[in-house]
Structures are given as structure tokens and as C-alpha cells.
Amino acid sequence: MEEIDKENLPRHIAIIMDGNGRWAKKKNLNRISGHIKGVNAVREIVTACRELGIKVLTLYAFSVENWRRPKDEVAALMGLLEEYLLKEREEMIQNNIRLSAIGRLEDLPLDVWNTLKEAIKMTEQCNGMILNLALSYGGRSEILHAIQGILSDFQKGKVKPEEINLQRFSQYLWTRGIPDPDLLIRTSGEFRISNFLLWQIAYTELYVTETLWPDFNRKELLKAIADYQSRERRFGLTSEQLNGREE
């Protein structure tokens, strides 16, 4: 904790929570036990981020590709998600956390979607931190969805082609209003983006740890933030420009 500079925290942390299955396998448990343990890690990390003063935490909880997993695993994940929302929504309000979600939410089972909408509504006045869940999410789907939105507004005469710039385009994404991630963490060692926030991570710092998601905890999070703080973010400029030594 002493190593963390409170003045230079990432505003938005995004996490690819990978490794629940491997964690379970290592312990001779079924995959679902790994996901159950994964939910505990979610709780710990949400609390830690709120305490630290992180403004946005985006968690990749379920991808568009994940629907192709065995039926019982998909059902278990949906059940865990619903249980999490029902159990945690009061605590979110107490901790001033606003819930938000990105993805093809209409693909979720109706009861899960309704519970999600309810929790989003219940926490809409909270402004301490945004907990943004990526559910049935895919970066390519998000970009296509944005293009469809633009074309539809074009047909209605609401937007002209020359008005579409980077900022305007971003407003058609599911992450509208949310700043791009400063730090993207991926657990369990793989160097892949897996269709996560493709547009938004253009200048995001990446951090990959071997730790499997169920073992990821507050200490691991602080390690990732300390690593982030040791980087120089140049956004395409030179180091000299950034330090004001050169025009």
C-alpha cells in the first residue's frame, strides 16, 4: 500500500477474469466450483477498488463467445450472476457504487436481465464508483452495434457523415460516458485481448499476471497498480515532449 501513489491512480481499471476453470482443475474440483470462487474474488476486488478511490471498474464476466460453453456451465454462470446482483445490490448502494452493464444484454435469460435492470435502477443515484459488468459482451459486436446506430441516425437525418469523428463515434458505443480504461489486467497468464473493449483500449496499459482469477486479491491488485504507476504513458508523444523539454 505504501508503494501506491494516491495521486496517480488509474481512473478506470478493466479486468479479464480468466482462469476459473484451471483453478478448479488444479484442485480436482469441477469448473463451476472455480466460478463460485471467482465470485468471491469479484467481491474482494470491487471492495478494494472502491476503497482505493478507483472511479470505474469494468469486469469481463461473460463474452458473446461464452454462450457456446456447455449448457450447465452457462446456466451456472447465469445463476451466479443473478445471485451476486441480488446479494450485493444493497451493499452497492451503501458503498455508493453505481452498477452499469455493457454487452448484448437482451441475450441474457429474462430473469437475469430483469434483475440486472433492477439493480442498475436501484443504484443510479450512486456516484462513488461505477461497477461496469461486461455481459454477453464482444468488442466487435459493440463496434457493429455503434455503426448500426450511426446509420439509423443518418437515415433519420440526425447525423451527417462529416460530423462523425472519434469523440462522436465513442458516443455510439455501449461504454458511452465512461472514460477509456487506463489499466487492463488479465489474470492467468495469457497475452490475449479476447475481443474485450477493442476500441477503448487504444492507449491502455496492459498488465498480465500468472495468478488465476480465484486467487486474485487486494494485494495482487495493488501490485498491478504499482506496476502501472511505474510506466510512462506517452500517447504517441516522445518522452521529452511529455516532460516539457521539447516542443
Least Å from the CB of residue 152 to ligand FPP: 31
Q: Residue 218 in contact with residue 42, Cβ under 8 Å?
A: no
Active-site residue 72, yes or no?
no
173 sits near ligand FPP (criterion: CB under 6 A): no
Instruction: Give strand ranges (E) for the chain.
Output: 12-16, 56-63, 97-102, 129-137, 183-186, 205-208
21 sits near ligand FPP (criterion: CB under 6 A): yes
d(CA 239, CA 15): 28
* Residue 193 C-beta-side C-alpha neighbours within 13 Å: 15
Catalytic residue among 66, 95, 195, 217: 66
138 sits near ligand FPP (criterion: CB under 6 A): no
35 sits near ligand FPP (criterion: CB under 6 A): yes
Three-state DSSP class for 57?
strand
Q: Let me know the angle formed at the C-alpha of 137 by 82 and 76, rounded to the nearest 5 degrees.
A: 35
Q: Could you say which of 13, 14, 17, 112 contacts ligand FPP (CB under 6 A)?
A: 17
Q: Could you say which of 12, 15, 19, 204 contacts ligand FPP (CB under 6 A)?
A: 19
Q: Let me know the angle formed at the C-alpha of 112 by 110 and 118, rounded to the nearest 5 degrees.
A: 100
81 sits near ligand FPP (criterion: CB under 6 A): yes
Least Å from the CB of residue 220 to ligand FPP: 14
Active-site residue 66, yes or no?
yes
102 sits near ligand FPP (criterion: CB under 6 A): no
Catalytic residue among 18, 20, 132, 182: 18
Least Å from the CB of residue 82 to ligand FPP: 9
Query: Please, which residue, 124 or 190, has the CB nearer to ligand FPP?
Result: 190
22 sits near ligand FPP (criterion: CB under 6 A): yes
Q: Residue 218 in contact with residue 44, Cβ under 8 Å?
A: yes
For residue 188, report the phi and psi dihedrals to the nearest 5 degrees.
65, 25
66 sits near ligand FPP (criterion: CB under 6 A): yes
Q: Which residues are catalytic?
A: 18, 66
